[in-house]
Structure 1
């Protein structure tokens, strides 16, 4: 882990871990991920050469985010707040507007990483949802 980059326990100004923990208790959520698993996953995503997948998330105390591709500073730190994190694994490359885009499925290496780290997930048609808590939320999932 690079100590110069944010990690699972990193907080932003105004973040309150105690408030997040209160929401978790109020909603009777059960943790399925921990800081070690999140850090291992994030480090591997940051280190992956070439294409970086888009992601969006939902924190326990907020609305779903929009899609983003920045894996260094835009993640929802601290990760204890993450109810779920979606990762898009379909890549469409258009070389010419007159020809259909070339579609590549990147799910194989992402699933291998998730299994290695031990994060709970579900694969959809175009995205993988990583669950930070149970009960597992299916909101906005692309079955």
Structure 2
């Protein structure tokens, strides 16, 4: 037996399952979540530091919202002139929410839905509300400060 074989780390269950899912996905379209390893720093994303300028407040419709995917922030406007900001990472599996529709922030991975007014869970499996961020409008632009 070679030394390389003896010193090689064992394949983890998660790596094996993710690899198998990737092979199956090659034949069709499948969305996977949660396949990052716990040691993979790219799978972990922290909230942006300091105020983040997200552009014109007019881009966020009344009774709806807008997902800023790159910043992992979602901003809603439940009533005219009332802006709310939340983490765009679902509290279930960490997927980034993808849209605001029917007055709900929607996660594409497992169907969780959150209220645009306070980020509370409207439909699971998410166990907790989306974390809220401070949001202001300065010079017509949205400024969000993650907690």
Calculate the TM-score normalised by the size of structure 2. Answer: 0.21
Looking at secondary structure, tell me which structure has more strand per residue: 2
Looking at secondary structure, tell me which structure has more helix per residue: 1
| Rg larger in structure | 2
Higher relative contact order (CA 8 A, sep 6+): 1
Calculate the TM-score normalised by the size of structure 1. Answer: 0.21
